[in-house]
Structure 1
Amino acid sequence: MKDRKKEGKGKKRVLSHRRLLLLVLLTLFFAAIIYKDNKTVGVTHYEIASDRLPASFDHFRVVQLSDLHDAEFGENHHDLVKRVKMLTPNAIFITGDFIDSNRYDLDRSLRLIEELQFVAPFYFVTGNHEIATNDVERIKEELEKLDVRVLSNESLYLKGDAGDLIAIGGIEDPLSKGSDDAKTVEEFTAKTFRDVPDSMFTMLLSHRPEQFDKYVEAGIDLTFSGHAHGGQVRIPGLGGLISPGQGWFPHYTSGIHEQDGSRMVISRGLGNSIVPIRLFNQPEIVVVTLRTI
């Protein structure tokens, strides 16, 4: 009888140890996921092909950085800078929320530009957090000192090797006007491309992906957007959980969306804001390679 009791206690101890080991392993597993999804940076590659793109822009490579929110990946952004340099972009697009209005540290974010200043031309548009600081003009001035082209409801032309042109435009975040977002985006987009020929390939930098219908209506070939943070928590097989401007289970959180010949690339972004943790949603550098057909 005593032997049976000892054997039963031994089995219970083994079971208890196994449960403890399982708990430790699960804790380490989720800690590794949280670290990866908040402290490391991944790279997502897309190809966008269009018969409207001039031949001299075939293989033109854009790196998109969005929603940094004053985050830092390594000392002086070393990890992020190293990855961007390896991608050898022709242009770098910053699609808003470069800083965070809740823990505003402009100098920290500007160090990223300083480290990448001579890698490729920079193009920038505001997000809602730049507007919310009430310091947006200084932000723009500091960026322009570092040769960043700030696009404020305006467009410019890029010239290819054969003299071909494409247009890049950028709009201010609609918070800058403080009225109906959809109407403001429609107004700003029309103003930005009013002098651009309809036959020309157009790229738009705009922070808000939920306004995709307005970019489609404007006939934009390719829009770069962010803001949604990938839905903050990504549920495998379903997508993002929540996004500003879209609420629960948002539609526009990542990837490429297409409608009536207009396409939109959405970055999951790099940093966090009000919600401090991402899950199954690694910070992202987006790379878009343009191809002619």
Structure 2
Amino acid sequence: MKKLAVFIAVLAVLVGSFYYSNTGLSVTEMTLQVGEEGASLEGLQIAHVSDLHDATFGEEQVDLIDAVKQKQPDLIFITGDLIDSNRYDLEQSLAAVRGFVDIAPIYYVTGNHEIATDEENAIKSKLSQLGVTVLSNELTTISYQGQSIEILGIEDPLSGTSVSDVLSLHPRSELPRLTLSHRPEVFEDYVAAREQLVFSGHAHGGQLRIPGVGGLIAPGQGFFPSYTAGVYEEQGTQMIVSRGLGNSLFPYRIFNRPEVIFITLER
């Protein structure tokens, strides 16, 4: 009986831990340093949300909304796969967006799942109606503390246009630039284009994270992918990859809790 009780207790702990790994929202805070060319970005705070895939965090997404609201970011970036093409429920994901719009300006780019639904235009329209700035291979300029900053939004290449082609259409100017693009596996394209700060998702943290090793598998990268979570830097380009919030075809995360990232920029 004692052995059975121990087995049941261990099993309960494992099941609880597994459940928490897939539903317990984690908040990652980071400070990124920008060079002199990005001096006007100093102090800017950004909430990075990616790959919700129609997951839920509290009734009407209240837990997710509260996590962002507590940090009071200056900007909110959504880098694709807001919905899941396999269990499409736009209203469920829009509940989070409705909460976000009262916090800070939102900028959004598509992921591969928005394209795969064939509802891409309807999704963009709903987001625009809520006040979200949808960037479809477009560049916009905003003002922060009296200085101009560029925000470039790159559609997922499933739409038919490659990331490198979009980057060539919008070469870097002298202004600081923040780039939203769903795909991290084309990091070398961002480096070649001299992009300054790139915000990405898509890899789901590698789905199963092996302590000391990293993610196991990611779409577009295969097994033991190079870009799954955190910050990657090369030749002045920094790419921030979110582990994301939801799941798609493979429904479970292991050692890889859903994540919202908060970035503060400093010189």
The TM-score by the shorter chain falls in which range? over 0.9
Equivalent residue for 1:8?
Answer: none
One of 151, 169, 178 as aligned partner of 2:152: 169
Equivalent residue for 1:133?
Answer: 117
Is 1:109 the equivalent of 2:93?
A: yes
Is 1:235 the equivalent of 2:219?
A: no
Is 1:185 the equivalent of 2:163?
A: yes
One of 241, 247, 251 as aligned partner of 1:266: 241
Contact kept, 8 Å, 1:44 with 1:285, in 2: the verdict is yes
Alignment of 1:42-57 (within 5 A): 42-57=26-41
Is 1:98 the equivalent of 2:82?
A: yes
Is 1:279 the equivalent of 2:262?
A: no
Q: Distance in 2 between matches of 1:95 and 1:229?
A: 12
Q: Distance in 1 between matches of 2:210 and 2:2?
A: 29
1:209 is paired with a residue of what secondary structure? coil
Contact kept, 8 Å, 1:33 with 1:280, in 2: the verdict is no
- Per the normalisation by structure 2, the TM-score is 0.97
Q: Which amino acid aligns with 1:189?
A: L
Q: Distance in 2 between matches of 1:47 and 1:175?
A: 32
2:68 is paired with a residue of what secondary structure? helix
Contact kept, 8 Å, 2:41 with 2:176, in 1: the verdict is no
C-alpha change, 1:86 and 1:169, in structure 2 (3 Å) is: same
Alignment of 1:1-293 (within 5 A): 17-161=1-145, 163-177=146-160, 184-191=162-169, 193-194=170-171, 196-197=172-173, 199-292=174-267
C-alpha change, 1:252 and 1:55, in structure 2 (3 Å) is: closer
2:140 is paired with a residue of what secondary structure? strand
1:155 is paired with a residue of what secondary structure? strand
CA RMSD of aligned residues (A): 1.3
Q: Which amino acid aligns with 1:261?
A: G
Q: Which amino acid aligns with 1:142?
A: K
Q: Which amino acid aligns with 1:73?
A: F
Q: Distance in 2 between matches of 1:37 and 1:53?
A: 39
Question: Which structure 1 segments of 5+ residues have no match?
Answer: 1-16
Q: Distance in 1 between matches of 2:192 and 2:136?
A: 20
How much identity, in percent, do the aligned residues show?
A: 47
Q: Distance in 2 between matches of 1:170 and 1:217?
A: 17
Contact kept, 8 Å, 2:65 with 2:100, in 1: the verdict is yes
Contact kept, 8 Å, 1:54 with 1:164, in 2: the verdict is no
Q: Distance in 1 between matches of 2:163 and 2:2?
A: 57
Of the two, which has the highest radius of gyration? 1
Give CA deviations for 1:13-45 in whole Å, capped at 9, x if unaligned: xxxx34323321221121121121111100001
Q: Distance in 1 between matches of 2:66 and 2:54?
A: 18
Give CA deviations for 1:32-87 in whole Å, capped at 9, x if unaligned: 21121111100001111112355453211000000000011000001111111001
Q: Distance in 1 between matches of 2:65 and 2:131?
A: 17
Question: Which structure 2 segments of 5+ residues have no match?
Answer: none
- Per the normalisation by structure 1, the TM-score is 0.88
Contact kept, 8 Å, 2:57 with 2:64, in 1: the verdict is yes
Tell me by how many angstroms 1:190 deviates. 2.0
